Amino acid sequence: MPLITGSIPALVTPFRDGRVDKDALFELVEWQIAEGSAGLVPCGTTGEAATLSIAEHDEVVALTVAAARGRVPVIAGCGSNDTAVAIHHIERAAAAGADAALIVCPYYNRPGQRGLLLHFRAVAEASALPILVYNIPGRTGIDMASETLAELATHPRIIGVKESTGDINRVSEIRALCGPDFLILSGNDYMTLGIIAHGGHGAISVTANVAPRLNAAQVKAALDGDFATALALQDQLWPLHQALFTDPSPGPVKYALSLVRGMSPDVRLPVPAPGPASRAAVDAALAHAGIAP
């Protein structure tokens, strides 16, 4: 099993003129690794997976693996509300050399707990990769109960969860039901410090796209038990955690990267470019964090 811990950015997918910008993606990966990110997640929510074609999705995963060159694990976003498509993405990610797969609960279908069990078991049985469950009910319309997760945790290829419910109580609940070695990664930057204090193992982070070194330092400090340092970094980064969601994500994230890295801020509809208030919030948050455009 790959070591999946620390600060792991949920990478944006750079676009230019409506197409995936391969050069910008390679540059982003190189910068992330140089700044201390401990892994990479292409084709998650922040990567606009919902508006990538199947071919683009598989290409972005393969490009990320190629750019990483084995230096950090690549956890490929492979989820879908269609079980067969999720299996396809895992097959292609494994063929490209990804280290693990992140599988979101099936959105829109709202299959219930029994359907979640059937979906994830089917995906796990077909997978050559270890799997992280991605539970984000605010986006999917379905919340995986901790008891359901505990049933899935008995499968040898289901190794952990990206916890994005916003409920800090879930961390202790998952530890009690799944055991302390079942990986728990924060999916909400503003909660990462608390989740690690409750027994989590790191974060799949939006903010790490923009502030990878600071985010990695905070997660490392928290994992090392240096909560004074981690809290100081939380105070430094908290406005940025908030600002990156002042308009639909990843619009504000891409705007911030256009300032910090010169990346195109292009997003795909129905996600709009951030409005003036959101851009102003990002500007102020970058200044507060000491990140100069």
Active site (catalytic) residues: 134, 162
DSSP output for 88-131: HHHHHHHHHT-SEEEEEPPTTT--HHHHHHHHHHHHHHH-SS-E
Q: Cis peptide before 270, with omega less than 30 degrees from 0?
A: yes
Q: Which two tokens stand for residue 167?
A: 């409920």
Separation of alpha carbons 199 and 285, rounded Å: 28
Q: Which two tokens stand for residue 83?
A: 């079980």
The dihedral region occupied by 262, where left means phi > 0, alpha psi between -120 and 50, and beta the remainder, is: left
